[in-house]
Structures are given as C-alpha cells and as structure tokens.
Structure 1
Amino acid sequence: MRTLFLQAPSYEGFDGGAGSRYQARREIRSFWYPTWLAQPAALLPDSRLVDAPPHGIGLADITAEARSYDLAVLHSSSPTFASDTRAAAALKEANPKLKIGFVGANVAVDPASSLKRAPALDFVAGNEFDFTIKEVAEGRDWSSIAGLAYRDRNGVVRQNEDRPILERMDDLPFVTPVYKRDLKIENYFIGYLKHPYISFYTGRGCKSRCTFCLWPQTVGGHRYRTRSVQNVAAEVRWAQKAFPQVKEFFFDDDTFTDDAPRAEAIARELGRLGVTWSCNAKANVRCETLKVMRDNGLRLLLVGYESGNQQILHNIRKGMRIDVARRFTKECHDLGITIHGTFILGLPGETRETIEETIRFAQEVNPHTLQVSIAAPYPGTFLYDQAIQNGWFDEAHAEFVDEHGMQLAPLHYPHLSHSEIYHSVEEFYRRFYFRAPKIASILAEMARSPEIMKRRLREAGEFFAFLRERREARN
C-alpha cells in the first residue's frame, strides 16, 4: 500500500511531533524531529513522511494529494486529537478508499475509545507500532496483526492482542535517510542546540518511574533496549555524508547516560568521527563518564531537574537527590559542559514556597539555558490517575493547551490554583534570565559570533512575544 505518514497541521508554531516531551507551542520557535513516524516510514521504501507544522504545509495541500495514497498514518497527541480527527475526516472525504490510522501515546492508552471518537479512523496502533504499521501496509489480514485495534466490515471495534516489545533494536533501519528524503532539516530549531541539528534515538525505554513522564508509561516501556555501539556510529557516519551542514547530533534517549559503559563507548566512536553531540542526562552522571564524553565531542546535556524541592522529587519518583544534582552540575561547569535545564511547575506537593525554592535552585545551579513547563497529566500516566483520584484535574480545566497551542495549567490543589501555577512560569523565566550575570553572559556569547547574535535576537523577539501573549491571556 502506498503510505503517507503525517504530522497534521494544528496550531501555528505547534511542536506536537513524536519527539516532543510536551506537545505545545514553546516560548521560542522549536521543532523536534518526527522520529517515531520516520521509523515505520523507513520500513516502507515507497512511503512519504509529511511533517506539516515546521514546513508550513496546510491541510488543503495534504488533502490534494490524498488520492495518491492507499494508507495514511497520523501521529496524534492529547492536545491535538480534535484537530487530527478533523484532518482524518478531510483526507477520507478526498479519498473515501483511503485507510486511515492513528499512532501515538494518546491512542495507545485507549484505542477503542479513540476509534469511537473519530469516525474517519479505520484503525489505531498501540505501544511500539513500527512493525504493526508495516504489516498493515503489506496488506495482511487485520485480525492477525498484533497491536492493532480496528473497525471490522460491520463497523464493530475489534482489539487484537498487544504486540511484544521490540528487543533487537538493530533490526530497525536508520531514520536519517527518511529525513534526507522527506524533510528540510533547516526547519528544525531547538533553542539550545546548534543549527541545523539532527536528533534520533539510540535506544528505547526508561527504567525510571517518573510519574509524569509520558513515553515510558505509554509507548516505550521501562526497560532500556539499545542499539549496538557500531550501529549508532554507522548511522552518524551516514548522516555526516548526507548532511554536511549539520552542526550537532542530539541523542533523544530518555536514559542515554544510565548505561555508563555504553555511553562512553559511543562517545569514543563519536570522537573518532569528529562530531559535536549532545544528549539527555540525569543529574547523577559520574565525573569520570562526563570527562570521557566531553573529551569525545560532547557539548551539552539536557538535564531534567524538574524541581528544587526534595519532597516533590520523592512525590514524582524522580530518584534524584538535590545534593547529587548540585555536585553533578558543578562538575559539568568545571568541565565546560553546557547544560540546558528543564523544570516543571505544578507537580504534586507544589506550593508557593516550593515554587520559590525551585526558582532559587535554578539561579544557584545556573544552567546555560532553561525551559519551564507546566505539569501535564497525560492519559496513561500515573500522574493522570493520581490527579483524577484526588480531584486535582477537573473538566473545566481539562484542556492541555489554549487556542494558540500554548500550555495551560490543568492541575490545581487546595492550596494552589490553576492561575497561580500558570503565572509562575513567567515569573520563573523573568527571575532567571533578567539577572545581570545572565544578561552579561548572553551578550558576551552574542559578541563572539555574528551568527549567534542573529539567532539570539530572533529568539528574544519570540520570547517577548510569548510573554506578551501570556499576559493577554491572563487579562
């Protein structure tokens, strides 16, 4: 079947791709690669991947091509399910014979309900859907395909057994050839990564049990299953030749640094290739491992601090100690490793006092850049069940984003309202970035590079527009 993989248009500037931890429009223009769609696309040589948001592709352009395809696979999320459903209906209207399926965490959690809420859908695929989609595209009998929920000829929803989790990660083809074939990589921006960048996964799953984290609880699982060191290096070598303009590789695994010997082995391979690279990391990596990675091209670590309050970290099962995070951060600073820190406001146990504590902690550890998100209880997570049981999540605030695609504050507590959590984001950003040392650091960075100056000025404009929109929404 000729297959279209689609991240449909939703909100202007909305980063809803399957690589995005929080499906929302960010404070500056940001787009992650649609890696979870590129993976099954790589299994189907005649397929096409359309990532509409970063490429400015409208629904009319997509539906005009709908007659060229037999199968359409759309990635959907909780914030975009309604708009994705409308896109599916438009595709079906343009080509009634087109078979349409949804993938993603949102539909994996409740496939039967998703089918009932979206009449244009023919099927949804759960958990790791790569080979599920491949078998659909090969024309197999749907009743025999593990991981599939579908409508039968009579319109009755059927749900097959779950697909076993993928163990041999080297069985998956590279995703970067799909990027080369179908995407313009210059359209992908992340504020703290060099531009243009490329990201992909070297493994799936996360052994941590953070209650809020979407992917391990819905799609990837809690065991870290990895590609071989040689396989990862081979894809980087391929991408180096295919994308000579790339300035940085980012490895998007949740737990890249959890397997320290493997991380060091990959680092040494990357050092031989002479690439600049970055990855996600917990704030507990040993200094010896940090040195090996730094000496072999590591530039930046994306670190999920989440909170500066130890009890909140216990509440969300983060498995991190504040004192360890402080020591780790100092070692990174001493080694010259840049940190982009991520924080979440509104987690269970949050109070006005803990918000203040987290802001002061961020100022103290002083990552180069940071991102402040609002706790989002996505369906399928422990946080979602906890919020429902405790009455923290009510229908009046059940939306995750506003009409512009910006994050809302869906949770509230007896001692902390939706609006207090929402407004604290702006306060956090202002108090972190509008400090004399931080401003001086940014200006010095801009003075050293005309390219960085141009980029930071653009991002500053987007950032102030973001703050203005939040104020307008508040009023």
Structure 2
Amino acid sequence: MTTPISGQPLDLLLITPGGRDAIYQELGEELTAVEPPLWAGLIATYCRLKDHRVAIIDSEAERWGPETVAKKVAELKPRLVGMIVYGHQPSASTQMMTAAGPACRAIKAEAPEVPVIIVGGHVAALPERTLREEAVDFACTGEGPVTVETLLRALGDEVPDVSQVPGIVYWDGGEVRRTPGAPLIEDLDRDLPGSSWDLLPMDRYRAHNWQCFGDLGSRKPYASIYTTLGCPYKCSFCCINAPFGKNGYRFRSPEAVLKEIDILIEKFGVRTFKIVDEMFVLNEKHVTAICEGLIPRNEKLGGALNFWAYARVDTVKPAMLDMLRRAGFRWLALGIESGSKHVRDGAKKALKSEDIVGIVRAIQEAGINVIGNYIFGLPDDDAQSMRETLDLAKELNCEFANFYSAMAYPGSPLYNTAVEKGWELPDAWSGFSQHSYDCKPLATEKASAAEVLAFRDSAFNEYFTNPRYLKMVDQRFGASTSVHIRQMTRHSLRRKLLEPVDAPA
C-alpha cells in the first residue's frame, strides 16, 4: 500500500481480504492468478475525485493476516474503513467472506473507534444477515461508490446522521435500519475513470498460468480492467447483478478504456491483461471501437499484448475474430456449462451443441485460444448428463477448461430457489469456494453433493491427463507447457465431503 501524505489525516482505508489458502488450498501458491482488486480501486477513484484522502490495503496480494491489517488500521486511524468483498469473478464474493469476517473482528478489537462498512456482491445479496453476523457498523446494499462517499461526508458532520446515507443497513439502538438504495453510477467515464493503480502493489499481481501457456514468465506484470458493468442475461446460477439491483449493461467509452490501458502499458509495463466484464464480446460496436484502438498499440509492441475476456457462444461473430486477435486477444472464455441441452435449457442457457462446436472451432482457427467453462450438478443433472458434459469438453478439446460444481450463490435465482425449497447449502461461506477443503455443491434430485463433487474432481483429472489434450498442448504451446500441465495434475485437492467417515467403535 502507499503511505498517506505525512501530517494529513486519512479519510478512507479500503481493504481487500485475503484468504487465498483457504479458498484455493495449495493451488493458490503458484497456479492461480493474483488479480488487482477492481472495486477497491474504483471506489478509491470515486472518492478521490470528491477530494477524500484514500489508501488501499490489498491483504491478499500482500499476504497479510487479520492481525497485521488491524494494526495498520490502528496506525493509520482512518475516518472510515471499507472492507471490499467483491470477487475477481461474480461467484467469488461469498467465499471472500471467509477472510473478511476475521479481518473485521480483528479491526474492531484493535481499533474499535473506527467505523467499518462492508461492501460487495455477497453483502448486497444478504445485507441484513451480514450486518448481524459480522463485526461491522454498516453493510452496503448496492454497488458501493456512492454509498461509501456519502457515508464519509456524513461521518464528517459535527453530529453525524447516517439515516440519510443511501444504500446501507445499520444498527439504530437494537434495531436494524435500512435506507433507500443508492443510484447506480451512469457516467462511468466521469465518475469511475479506471482504478487507482498508484495505490496498489503492482509488482505482486500475476496472470493465471493458462493465459501465459508457452511463456509462463510473462505472468507479471498483470492488470485487469473493465469496459462495461453488469450483464443483460439471467442465468439461474449467476449472482453478478446482486449489487446492481437489476439486469443491465453500462458502458465506458472506448477512449476511456484505451487511456487506462495506455497508463498500464507505459507506467507499469503491463502487457498481460484481463477484461473483467462479465460479457465483453457482446456489443459489436463497443468491441470494434476498442479493438481498432488496440491494434496499432499491439503492432507497436511487436504483438506482445495478451488479453483474455468472456464471451458467449451466441454473441461471438466469426467476422470479429481476426480483429480480436490482431488487437491482442489471445484467449476467449466461453460459458458452455453443460453437454446436455435439457440441462442447459433448465439453467436458462439455451444453446445448441452444434453451435458450440462450430464457434469453438472458428475461434481456434482465428488463432485465439478457448477456455471452456463447464458446470456439474445443475438442477436437472444426473450421472448421464454430467458424463455428456465431460464428453463434450473432451470433444471440443479447448486449450484450457474450468470445471465447476453448481453452487447456489447468494444473489442468484438458484440461491432463492434453494432457500425456498430447503435444499442443503454449505455450512460456512468457505464451502462456496470451488477449490476449498469444505466445498459443498448443490445436490440434484439424482446426484448427491458428494457425487457431484467427486465427478467434478475426476473430470478435471480425466481432461488434463487425456493424451489427445496433452498432444494438442505440446503442439500448440511447446513441451515445457505440457510438462507444466502434468505437474499441475499432481496437485490433489483435499475434500472433506469425500473423506471416508470413520466407522463407529
């Protein structure tokens, strides 16, 4: 973190909780990405534009535990602490509560006079519960920037009145009060013109291993930026729109996006990027304008730019692919989800198998790598449909694949259904992590949670040890990458759900 200007009091200290070891087990040491905290950086920018003095502690990147964070809070004495529990993808917010809770308790023990607001996708989905369960003074019901900045101003009044702060729940004596929601920020270029990169430990961020297949030494420096906020789709398992209150899609101008990319290239030497948007390849005009700006930059850098972004099978147009590749997009992630049309339809993901195969092949023929994302344990899944999903994954033979267990994440329609029907959910927030020891996916009518998890873990090994896949990787990226993947598959996740139960004495 950067040190505030000497002699000037700090208004806002934004904290990103860690917990990588609990969330990813041993995978967090080398294989997973360490991503810049998007929303901490955006909230910092918004508040700095309003003349507040701000600092950020990224305890995940710094590998600081709760006690170290709490001592920093006591040392800096900010007027307000913001605990930011947005994940690097929508489904990652809930699992971050595993680290956010202990950090808040440590702060309150070390510096009880400092007010704490907690912000994030999980918090927006369950604000009253979060306030009751965590050691915080306020919980944010929306996306965060307007609420945090208004709260800062209210706390600066001689007699603070937080009842007029939009988008919070708070304690009023022994009662929980909720204020009307804060408005969404509509002018992104003016109010959220990129992250506060100067407040972040930029030397600590690294890309996922797969993004740099063929050149694993290029994982650093690394940055992630956004070009849009929100998503217009309504997939049953997705919780992205919980902090926004509705399905929607807000755009930054291509000029603002390119300006931020230039800062990262020129000031921090970044060549490896993630586009954070839940769905980047969607609006053709928006994508085209950004790519047309990136192409000359990529050419000037000798083709060194390496971007990855999310797309949908039904939004990728073959005519766009050459442009994307020339702009530096080397990877597109596709939410394929299931090999069964029946299961996809039930998850509100209506795609045809032949369309999936056709688009994947078109992307690969354009020289762009594909990450196929698959989910086991969607409500209509059984052993046969999960097998169909794995068989489709092996047929597609994408350059990388993510295998997930279905989770009813707070803020998703699936969570509401699970609560309404009394389905069994994880015992702790860490259980919502795909890679945690206590991971506990949803059961289906025909498969238990343990069966879904066991299938997911075996599918990962079957895919990445498949001779056809390893041969493709060897040809596409070189022998060193196929060796790396063989080493990756030697990591075996411990799963509480799959451990044998001791027989009674």
Q: TM-score, normalised by structure 2?
A: 0.83
Displacement of 1:54: 3.0
- The answer on 1:70 being equivalent to 2:79 is yes
- Higher mean Cα deviation, 289-298 or 308-317? 289-298
Displacement of 1:74: 0.8
- 2:34 corresponds in structure 1 to 31
Displacement of 1:184: 3.0
- 1:265 corresponds in structure 2 to 289
- 2:60 corresponds in structure 1 to 53
- 2:6 corresponds in structure 1 to none
Would the aligned equivalents of 2:125 and 2:141 in 1 still touch at CA under 8 Å? Answer: yes
- The answer on 1:315 being equivalent to 2:346 is yes
Call closer, same or farther: CA 1:186–1:402 in 2, change over 3 Å. closer
Would the aligned equivalents of 1:374 and 1:408 in 2 still touch at CA under 8 Å? Answer: no
- 1:276 corresponds in structure 2 to 306
What SS is found at the alignment partner of 1:48?
strand
- The answer on 1:2 being equivalent to 2:11 is yes
- Higher mean Cα deviation, 53-62 or 24-33? 24-33
- 1:19 corresponds in structure 2 to none
Would the aligned equivalents of 1:127 and 1:220 in 2 still touch at CA under 8 Å? Answer: yes
- 2:21 corresponds in structure 1 to 12
Displacement of 1:446: 5.8
Select the residue among 91, 95, 101 that pairs with 2:107. Answer: 91
What SS is found at the alignment partner of 2:224?
strand
- 1:21 corresponds in structure 2 to none
- The answer on 1:169 being equivalent to 2:178 is no
Displacement of 1:48: 1.7
Once residues 397 and 137 of structure 1 are traced to their aligned partners in structure 2, the CA distance between those partners, rounded to angstroms, is 32
Once residues 402 and 251 of structure 1 are traced to their aligned partners in structure 2, the CA distance between those partners, rounded to angstroms, is 22
- Higher mean Cα deviation, 57-66 or 211-220? 211-220
Displacement of 1:314: 0.7
Would the aligned equivalents of 1:74 and 1:103 in 2 still touch at CA under 8 Å? Answer: yes
Would the aligned equivalents of 2:309 and 2:333 in 1 still touch at CA under 8 Å? Answer: yes
Alignment deviations for residues 65-103 of structure 1 (CA, whole Å, 9 cap, x no partner): 122122111123433435423321211121121010111
Q: Which amino acid aligns with 1:260?
A: E
Select the residue among 208, 232, 242 that pairs with 2:257. Answer: 232
Alignment deviations for residues 226-275 of structure 1 (CA, whole Å, 9 cap, x no partner): 0011111111111111121x232221111211101211111111112213
Once residues 429 and 418 of structure 2 are traced to their aligned partners in structure 1, the CA distance between those partners, rounded to angstroms, is 11
Displacement of 1:400: 2.2
Call closer, same or farther: CA 1:391–1:96 in 2, change over 3 Å. closer
Displacement of 1:166: 2.1
- 2:142 corresponds in structure 1 to 127
- 1:371 corresponds in structure 2 to 402
Once residues 403 and 321 of structure 1 are traced to their aligned partners in structure 2, the CA distance between those partners, rounded to angstroms, is 27
- 1:139 corresponds in structure 2 to 154
Q: Which amino acid aligns with 1:317?
A: K
- 2:45 corresponds in structure 1 to 42
Once residues 393 and 298 of structure 1 are traced to their aligned partners in structure 2, the CA distance between those partners, rounded to angstroms, is 40
Select the residue among 95, 104, 114 that pairs with 2:130. Answer: 114
Q: Which amino acid aligns with 2:290?
A: I
- Higher mean Cα deviation, 140-149 or 232-241? 140-149
Once residues 201 and 296 of structure 1 are traced to their aligned partners in structure 2, the CA distance between those partners, rounded to angstroms, is 16
Would the aligned equivalents of 1:377 and 1:387 in 2 still touch at CA under 8 Å? Answer: yes
- The answer on 1:148 being equivalent to 2:151 is no
Once residues 134 and 397 of structure 1 are traced to their aligned partners in structure 2, the CA distance between those partners, rounded to angstroms, is 31
Q: Which amino acid aligns with 2:32?
A: R
Q: Which amino acid aligns with 2:236?
A: T
- Higher mean Cα deviation, 248-257 or 77-86? 77-86
Would the aligned equivalents of 1:11 and 1:404 in 2 still touch at CA under 8 Å? Answer: no
Q: Which amino acid aligns with 1:158?
A: R
Select the residue among 195, 202, 206 that pairs with 1:184. Answer: 202
Once residues 274 and 189 of structure 2 are traced to their aligned partners in structure 1, the CA distance between those partners, rounded to angstroms, is 19
Once residues 369 and 403 of structure 1 are traced to their aligned partners in structure 2, the CA distance between those partners, rounded to angstroms, is 17
Alignment deviations for residues 142-165 of structure 1 (CA, whole Å, 9 cap, x no partner): 22221122223x353221101122
Q: Which amino acid aligns with 1:361?
A: L
Would the aligned equivalents of 2:12 and 2:79 in 1 still touch at CA under 8 Å? Answer: yes
Q: Which amino acid aligns with 2:65?
A: G
Match runs of 1:385-396 below 5 Å: 385-394=416-425
Would the aligned equivalents of 1:185 and 1:198 in 2 still touch at CA under 8 Å? Answer: no
What SS is found at the alignment partner of 2:106?
helix
Once residues 127 and 407 of structure 1 are traced to their aligned partners in structure 2, the CA distance between those partners, rounded to angstroms, is 29
Once residues 104 and 229 of structure 1 are traced to their aligned partners in structure 2, the CA distance between those partners, rounded to angstroms, is 26
Would the aligned equivalents of 1:70 and 1:98 in 2 still touch at CA under 8 Å? Answer: yes
Would the aligned equivalents of 2:143 and 2:243 in 1 still touch at CA under 8 Å? Answer: no
- 1:464 corresponds in structure 2 to 490
What SS is found at the alignment partner of 1:158?
strand
Q: TM-score, normalised by structure 1?
A: 0.88
Unaligned runs of 5+ residues in structure 1 are 17-23
- 1:211 corresponds in structure 2 to 236
Match runs of 1:337-416 below 5 Å: 337-394=368-425, 400-401=431-432, 405-406=436-437, 408-416=439-447
Q: Which amino acid aligns with 2:232?
A: K
